[in-house]
Structure 1
Amino acid sequence: MTMNSPAGEPTTRLRLLVCDDHAVVRAGLLALLSSDEQIEVVGEASNGEQAVRLAAQLRPQVVLMDLQLGPGIDGVAATQQITSAPDSPYVLVLTTYDTDADIARAIAAGASGYLLKAEQPEELFSAIHAAARGHTALFSRPVASRVMAQMRSPSPQLTHREEDILKQLGQGLGNREISRALYISEATVKTHLSRIYTKLGVDTRAGAVAVAKERRLLR
């Protein structure tokens, strides 16, 4: 769809796909985005699989992607699938989560930017238009601060299994409960815990949880 510029010349509107699993949030975003005459929302998705499919069918320039999408693949996996396709659109993550792990995973998956839902509308509009022009590294200020801090003092790199166990620790589960929840032996749990303690520089479960929360490794 096109619109006329002030000079009377037709201008192509920016094609945008919105992905969020909450219908009320999507409705609010659509209402907000409709105030920008240069943006055309060509579709909306309620889960990761639908976002991947619509991105291929509708060919948007930018995809606005939430991270947590309920059942199915999450926003990071959807972002990776979308950005790995030929002539893929740019993906902007729009989420409430600002942990180091979430930010790192989104960037590694190919996201062009990482915005928080607490941002002002003007920041969201600016990021969308910048992404459509091919600009990258678009971050909310709190996220940018965390990225810079991460670059100056990198957090320990935990494996996916270690992250799973750390989350269980954060919920107060013991070794036996963790082994049952993750379908692994207690001996394996102890081995992973030892590695987690070493990476975090602690020697207790409470210390691991405290450091993980301090470094935003846990939500």
Structure 2
Amino acid sequence: MIRILLCDDHAVVRMGLKMLLNNHPNMEVIGEASEGNECISQALELKPNVVVMDLSMPHGKDGLSATSELKKLMPEIMILILTMHDDEEYLFRAIQAGASGCILKSAPHDELIGAIESVATGNAYLHPSATKRLMEEYLGSVKQGNTDSFNLLSDREREVLTLIAKGFSNKEIGEKLEISVKTVETHKGNLMEKLQMKTRPELVAFALKKGLLGYGM
């Protein structure tokens, strides 16, 4: 059962989402909040698996600030940003804040269900148009001959990065590459240091931009 906390400043939106998600056999909405500070308080008390967080909340703490603070307090929590902004700037800001993914408010219901299921299992979720733009941006960068920290990674570190981004655990990566979990953790630490990244969603977005995952998540 995926325990979900909803954070949106519109009561009607929360009510609709609650009805939709509670009708799913593997999901339960355990709490609601209308702004970021209330969301943090509810999360600390209720300990949900996933927070569905509105990006823009004019009253109180906004979604990005709440996401950043909540991830510091509860690193294990997964946060799915709900936004009306189909803009890569918001996408990158959400990932940098620690969100596990973003989905548009206009997305079909089954896409929202799939996004929640994805982040609940530790994977990242990017809505299709954002995925395509990230790939186009990467391909444009390649054509211009731009280089970056990806070139600093060893072949093994690139293999580990790809498997992390595909959702495999350290143990599963070790089994696939026939190395110990400790060695996987060492490679992971080294590549995160080289890329100056701290979270799995950042790694997923980076791997996606580099074409390691293709267009699908």
TM-score range, shorter chain: 0.5 to 0.7
1:26 partner amino acid: R
1:128 aligns with 2:116: yes
What is the CA distance between 1:99 and its match in structure 2? 1.7
Shift of 1:153: 4.7
Larger helix fraction of residues: 2
Specify the alignment match of 1:88 in structure 2.
76
- For residues 58-80 of structure 1, give each alpha carbon's deviation from its aligned partner in whole angstroms, at most 9, with x where no partner exists: 10000001100112221111111
Partner of 2:163: none
* Residue aligned with 1:84, SS: helix
Q: How many residues align?
A: 141
Please give the root-mean-square deviation of Cα atoms over the aligned residues, in Å.
Answer: 1.5
Aligned pairs for 1:61-72 within 5 A: 61-72=49-60
Task: Determine the C-alpha separation between the residues in 1 that align with 2:86 and 2:140.
Answer: 17
Give the equivalent residue in structure 1 for 2:43.
55
SS at match of 1:135: coil
Question: Is the 1:20–1:65 contact (alpha carbons within 8 Å) kept by the matching residues of 2?
Answer: yes
Q: Report the secondary structure of 2:123's partner residue.
A: coil
State the TM-score, normalizing by the size of structure 2.
Answer: 0.61
In structure 2, what is the equivalent of residue 75 of structure 1? 63
Percent of pairs with identical residues: 40
In structure 2, the partner of 1:145 is 132
Which of 92, 97, 101 is equivalent to 2:85? 97
Other-structure match for 2:18: 30
Distance, in Å, in 2 between the alignment partners of 1:101 and 1:24 is 27
Residue of structure 2 in register with 1:109 after alignment: 97
Q: 2:104 is aligned with what amino acid?
A: L
Question: What CA deviation, in whole Å up to 9, does each residue of 1:123-176 have, x standing for no partner?
Answer: 11111112111112x11111212222343457xxxxxxxxxxxxxxxxxxxxxx
Contact 1:14 1:38 in 2 (8 A): yes
How is 1:3-42 mapped onto 2 (pairs within 5 angstroms)? 13-42=1-30
2: CA distance between counterparts of 1:16 and 1:147? Answer: 28
CA distance in 1, matches of 2:44, 2:140: 38
Aligned CA distance change for structure 1 residues 135 and 71 (closer, same or farther; 3 Å): same
Q: 1:15 to 1:141 in 2, by over 3 A?
A: same
Q: Deviations over 1:19-70 (max 9, x none)?
A: 1101111111111112202101010110011111111111000000110011
Cα distance in 1 for residues equivalent to 2:139 and 2:97: 22
TM-score by length of 1: 0.61
Amino acid at match of 1:81: E
Offset, 1:94: 1.1
Q: CA deviation at 1:87?
A: 4.4
The answer to whether the 8 Å contact 1:82/1:88 transfers is no
